[in-house]
Chains A and B, each alone.
Chain A
Amino acid sequence: MKGGGRHARRRRLSAGARTAGLLVAAGLVAAGAGAAGLALTRHADVPQAAALQVLPAPTGPIEAAPTEGAASVAEPVSLVIPSIGVSASLVHLGLTSSGALQVPPTTAVAGWYTGSPRPGSIGSAVIAGHIDSVTGPGVFFRLSQLQRGARVYVRRADGTLAVFEVTEVQMFPKDAFPTTAVYGAVPDPELRLITCGGTFDYSTRSYLSNTVVFAKEVS
């Protein structure tokens, strides 16, 4: 009796329920594929940059800060950070119409904010550079990898060098940018290097954080 019932069920299965079964199977496959697609696209595709090339320290007359006045230090023209392979010329940066810091016109150069003290004179000099372009790494791509104690060299228009030592490397959300710590007055020659970092927001096409390197002049 039981065996007969099963045969009957199998026959019925093969008829109408097969479509239902197919529906279930197809649905599960589709859902699985969707979940897999979702999972795969959640995984970040991290672009790779060329290997780091450490540079030799630049040579030239090193001049420490004068104790009085700010005008006697020449303007900065280039920047070398040997340990992260940075060697770039410096452009002048001002403010945008909305009062934000201008950024360099290309990702191959860095810029000195002309509203800040000249590097090597008393005060907090500010240099900003891009972490990347739309296609590849920018001049400050490896800024966040700088170690405390690393040397930063700024060459000035008169050929002299100001030499700095990294004291801090920190990341801040842009909506909580430490304006006073970066742009505020300090009583000794210091340097701030700024680039982007953290998560890139594709909807606004901008990074959500800034990496800031704090450095002080080596006397």
Chain B
Amino acid sequence: MRFTKFARRIILLAALPLLLLAIPAASVVTASAATGTGWIRLAHLSPNTPAVDVYLYSFGDSSAQIVLHHVAYGTVSPYEQVPAGDYTVAMRAAGAVATSAAVISASVDVAPGHAYTVAGLGPESGLRLQVLDDQLSTPSGQAVVRIIQASLKQSVVSVKWGSDTLQSSLKFGAVSSYQTVTAGTATLTVSGGGDNATASVPLAAGTVHTLVVLDGTNGLQIDNLLDAAGSGVDPAGGAGTGFGGMAPHGPSSPLPWLAAVGAGLLLAVGGGLRLRSRRAPAAAAGRHQRVPAARS
């Protein structure tokens, strides 16, 4: 009966170092949520539409967030990073007052981490504002490319990159989907009607391109836009950028100390038992009187 208390104490004592062991090192800071921004760029790709002023409004806000003045045919703005949310893009004739009615407008829902091109496409008589979803990824070691056909002079074109045919008959105002190509530099050939345009175009691994076919001053013109770029080949896993010299010198090995604790406890238990067996016969008579059988 008395021994159980003794044992309990020993168990507690033994548990103490285990409790100490259980105190973990400071836990790793968790990654916060994504920054919640996306990208948007604006383009004028309607050949016979005069220059415009392009306005970008955050939805419900009457004052424009971005105004691009005198945007002429063939112009594509750099990407603007904007908070995710709804936006309105409006085009007005260049120089028109900001409060005048827009020639055309479109709404864009910018999702976090996504990029969009809002482009005026087609002929002036049928001008439309199209929201294009821009790709931000490439297969490892490869490039992706899409084509916007914005030439009115040659209403149908075919596009070859090296010996690969990217598009065989792309109509005016059309936007192809992205295609994966082997990374490298090759000759881009755009042909339509009797017109031919060539350019040496580098498409590096890990890059996303939009090739815009335009009416140039003399025949067709090719505009190579770099939509996005990342690593050609993603390294595997994390980076081994440390040797531990400034790391907290953590516990070498707890085993010797645990052994000491264990051996000590064994010794104490052994001694305690021996003490009890010696005390028990002598104290037996007195104890019955002093301590009534209160414990069970």
Contact = CB atoms under 8 A, between A and B. Distances in A.
Interface of A: 2, 5, 8-9, 12, 16-17, 19-35, 37-39, 41-42, 44-47, 49, 65, 67-71, 95, 98-101, 103, 107, 113, 115-117, 121-124, 126, 128-138, 140-141, 167-168, 170-175, 177-180, 183-188, 194-200, 202, 205-210, 214, 216
Contact of A200 (B20, B137, B242, B279): B242
Interface string B207-230: 110000000000000011111111
6 contacts: A23-B268, A27-B268, A123-B230, A183-B230, A187-B79, A195-B242
A171 B29 contact: yes
Contacts of A122: 226, 228-229
B254 A95 contact: no
B278 A113 contact: no
Main secondary structure of the interface of A (DSSP, over half): mixed
B225 to A, nearest CB: 6
B134 A187 contact: yes
A132 B242 contact: yes
B265 interface: yes
Given A24-B271, A38-B21, A95-B235, A172 B282 contact: no
A199 B28 contact: yes
Given A188-B81, A208-B28, A196 B241 contact: yes
Contact of B264 (A29, A67, A124, A210): A29
A30 B264 contact: yes
Give the one of A25, A70, A167 with max B CB within 10 A.
A70
A186 B267 contact: no
Give the one of B32, B232, B241 with max A CB within 10 A.
B241
A46 B279 CA distance: 51
B39 interface: yes
Contacts of B233: 95, 99, 115
Interface residues of B, number: 86
A132 B245 contact: yes
Given A123-B230, A128-B239, A185-B138, A17 B275 contact: yes
A94 to B, nearest CB: 9
A172 B28 CA distance: 8
Contacts of B239: 100-101, 103, 128, 194-196, 210
Given A28-B268, A173-B28, A196-B240, A21 B235 contact: no
A167 B249 CA distance: 32
A194 B241 contact: yes
A171 B241 CA distance: 13
Contacts of A199: 25, 28, 247, 250
B28 A185 contact: no
Contacts of A65: 78
Contact of A30 (B20, B248, B260, B286): B260
Contacts of B207: 70, 123, 185
A170 to B, nearest CB: 5
Given A98-B236, A121-B229, A168-B32, A34 B261 contact: yes
Contacts of B260: 30-31, 33-34, 37
A129 B250 CA distance: 23
Contacts of A69: 202, 224, 226
A87 B171 CA distance: 54
Interface in B12-35: 13-14, 16-17, 20-21, 23, 25, 28-29, 31-32, 35
Nearest to B41: A187
Contacts of B35: 167-168, 214
Contacts of B224: 68-69
